[in-house]
Amino acid sequence: MKISMEFTGLDKVQKQLAKLSGPEAKAAYAKAINDTAFEVRRKMQAEMSAVFDRPTPYILRSVQFKSATPDLLETNVQPTYYGGKGVDPQKILATEAEGGSRKDKRSEAALRRVGILPGGYQTAIPSDPYPGSADAFGNLKGGFLVQLIAYFQAFGEQGFKANATEKTIKKLQNKQGIGSIAAKKVYQTTLGVRYFVSYGKLRGNRSSHLEPGIWASKGTHGADVRPVLLFVKAGRYKVRLDLKSVAQKAGGTDYLATRLRYRIRQAAGE
């Protein structure tokens, strides 16, 4: 939402305004605009918290504005990207704000590139996430996702050094025998984990009783099997977040007028 200074509705503060110099008046205007921007940002963050399931602090903090100054009496409140390792929040929110199909995540593009993720499918975290895989906001942890992509050697040319080798995979699985060789009863125990892909009914392989996705097996003979990442059909999303509408509902114009009167009286010492 763009907030700018409009010189209307100042009849009640004309006397106070007359006491101020040009720079003092402009400073009061800038403060009123910033007060309003803070209020609009608060309303936008509240709306995100209401419509999303556990939005990350990164997304909530992305709603920012550059403070208005006496020389530039305007600002714009919106999700903002400042560079770095994070993804542009406007790209993350695009589907929620515009509806339609969600673009592939980088991890999905990597899995699709090596033929693991079928066409027309995207990934989803199970309702009961694999232990240690998800953060408090229901997203896969970065380190876990890197391990998973490396395990299936899905990193591209630039990331080929991160791909797991056969030695690394065996070390991760870390099998050992338990029992008595003399009694010919030795059980293979997987102390670590082995990841594998199931296509369920999509391809009718021997793991067709499992839902399509990436699974993990642990324990004796790998009998402890749990889903890690499921393959689901790419859907179309309805609009869930309309920040322009939120800004309008925040009553920015009226709030600006109220804060403007306050800031002018404050600057005039009344």
Residue 151 shares a structural domain with residue 63: no
- Burial call 107-142: b when 16+ CB within 10 Å, e when fewer: bbebbbeeebbeeebbbebbeebbeebbeeeeebee
Q: What gap in Å lies between CA 218 and CA 191, rounded to an integer?
A: 7
Residue 243 shares a structural domain with residue 218: no
The predicted pLDDT at position 35 comes to 93
3-state secondary structure of 43: helix
Give strand pairing partners of 179: 186
The predicted pLDDT at position 187 comes to 45
Arithmetic mean of pLDDT over the chain: 77
The predicted pLDDT at position 23 comes to 86
pLDDT of 86 above 60: yes
3-state secondary structure of 18: helix
Which uninterrupted H or E stretch holds 194? Answer: strand 185-198
The rounded percent of the chain whose pLDDT value lies above 70 is 67
pLDDT of 41 above 70: yes
CA angle 32, 37, 42 (to 5 degrees): 130
pLDDT band at residue 230, thresholds of 50, 70 and 90?
very high
| Mean per-residue pLDDT, 160-167 | 63
183-194 pLDDT, tens digit each: 455 444 445 788
Residue 209 shares a structural domain with residue 135: yes
DSSP string, 49-78: HHHSSS--HHHHHTEE-PPPBTTB-EEE-E
Residue 223 shares a structural domain with residue 260: no
Answer for the pair 68, 74: CB distance below 8 angstroms, yes or no: yes
Domain count, the chain: 2
Residue 18 shares a structural domain with residue 139: no
User: Taking phi first (over 0 means left), then psi (-120 to 50 degrees means alpha), and beta for anything else, what does residue 27 get?
Assistant: alpha
Sign of CA dihedral 8, 11, 12, 13: positive
Residue 108 shares a structural domain with residue 228: yes
Task: Characterize the bridge pairing of strands 74-76 and 100-101.
Answer: unpaired
pLDDT band at residue 227, thresholds of 50, 70 and 90?
very high
Residue 6 shares a structural domain with residue 83: yes
165-220 pLDDT, tens digit each: 666 666 666 654 444 445 455 444 445 788 899 988 777 655 568 899 999 988 76
pLDDT of 17 above 90: no
Q: What gap in Å lies between CA 190 and CA 1, rounded to an integer?
A: 55
Sign of CA dihedral 259, 265, 267, 270: negative
Answer for the pair 36, 255: CB distance below 8 angstroms, yes or no: yes
Residue 169 shares a structural domain with residue 227: yes
Residue 241 shares a structural domain with residue 227: no
Cα–chain-centroid distance for residue 59? 6
pLDDT of 60 above 70: yes
> Could you count the other beta carbons within 10 Å of the beta carbon of residue 85?
5
Residue 113 shares a structural domain with residue 209: yes
Confidence (pTM): 0.59
104-159 pLDDT, tens digit each: 888 888 899 889 999 889 898 998 998 888 888 888 888 888 888 888 888 765 54
Residue 147 shares a structural domain with residue 117: yes
Full domain range(s) for residue 92: 2-99+237-267
| Mean per-residue pLDDT, 50-69 | 86
The predicted pLDDT at position 44 comes to 86
The rounded percent of the chain whose pLDDT value lies above 90 is 10
pLDDT of 11 above 80: no
Task: Characterize the bridge pairing of strands 78-79 and 63-64.
Answer: antiparallel
Nearby residues of 26 by Cβ (< 8 Å), 6 or more positions away: 70, 71, 73
The predicted pLDDT at position 178 comes to 42
- The lowest-confidence range among 4-13, 151-160, 235-244 is 4-13
Residue 85 shares a structural domain with residue 116: no
